[in-house]
Every structure is written in C-alpha cells, then in structure tokens.
Amino acid sequence: MEQLIIFAILLSLGYFFGRHAEKRHYKSILKREKHLVQLPTSASKYLLDDGRRIKRAHLVNGSMVVSVDYFKRILASLRNIFGGNVQSYETLIDRARREAVLRMKESCPGADQVINLRLETSSITKGRGKQIGSVEVLAYGTAVYFYK
C-alpha cells in the first residue's frame, strides 16, 4: 500500500510541476510571438511583395526537442486503450512547432520576410518497447532581405 501512495504522490508532483513548466513555456512563446509578429512568414514559395529588389536571401532554420514526461506517457497509453484524441501529446507538439518557428525567425534578424516555411517532425524512441522519448520539430525556410 505504501508503494501505491508513493507512486500517487510522485505522479501528482510530476503532473503539477510539468503543468507549471508548460504554462511558463507558453507564456514565453506568446511574448516572443507578439515581438516577432511583424516578420511575415509564408509557406508559399513566392514573395509576398515582389515589387522590391531582393538584396539577399538565405536558408534559416530553428529546431526544438521536447521530452515526453511520464505523466503524458501514462495518459497516452490510457488513450490508446480507450481511443480518442491524445491531447497531452497535442500540446507537446504545438509547443515544439511554435518554438521551432520562433527560433527560426530569431535566427534572421532584420529579414523582411520568410518564405517557403516547412516543418519536419520526428520522434526519438528509447527502450526495448520503442516508446517515444522525445519529439523533434525542425522549421526551415528562406529569409529574404530587400533593398531599403
């Protein structure tokens, strides 16, 4: 019985600390997104403003690796049994994608726009059961600088 109580306490601590860290990360993402909203980003390969001359263009990228915590893994395994959306993983992927795009935008200060944005997602497995240990998201595109 003691082991079950210890497991429940550790599980609840993991839940609350993980939730706190996730909320803090979302606040950071929102603050940085507001700061970088003026940099237009498009998945199109065509310029948003093709009336100006291009000074230079180059490849930019940003990546993010997020570890899956045990609480999310337990919730996901329960969802696998009963079916339905695995919301705990959805928030994980959302944070990783948004963070990767932000890091990409931050890697090209002074750019006028980023075109041809692409996102690549992969999972990093671990252990004999090939459980998902981490998720990596890579965002890349072309930063375009115009003559002023």
Across residues 46-56, what is the average pLDDT? Answer: 85
Closest listed residue to residue 95, CA positions, set 115, 67, 76: 67
Residue 30 pLDDT grade (very low, low, confident, very high; cuts 50, 70, 90): very high
Q: pLDDT digit string (tens) for 116-145?
A: 999 999 987 766 666 667 889 999 999 999
Beta bridge partners of 66: 135
Identity of the highest mean pLDDT range in 45-49, 104-108, 119-123: 104-108
- Collapse the DSSP code of 75 into the 3-class scheme (helix H, G, I; strand E, B; otherwise coil) and give the result: helix
Of residues 139 and 1, more confidence is placed in 139
Q: Is the pTM of this model over 0.85?
A: no
CATH number at residue 89: 3.30.110.70
* Residue 53 domain boundaries: 2-146
Number of separate domains in the chain: 1
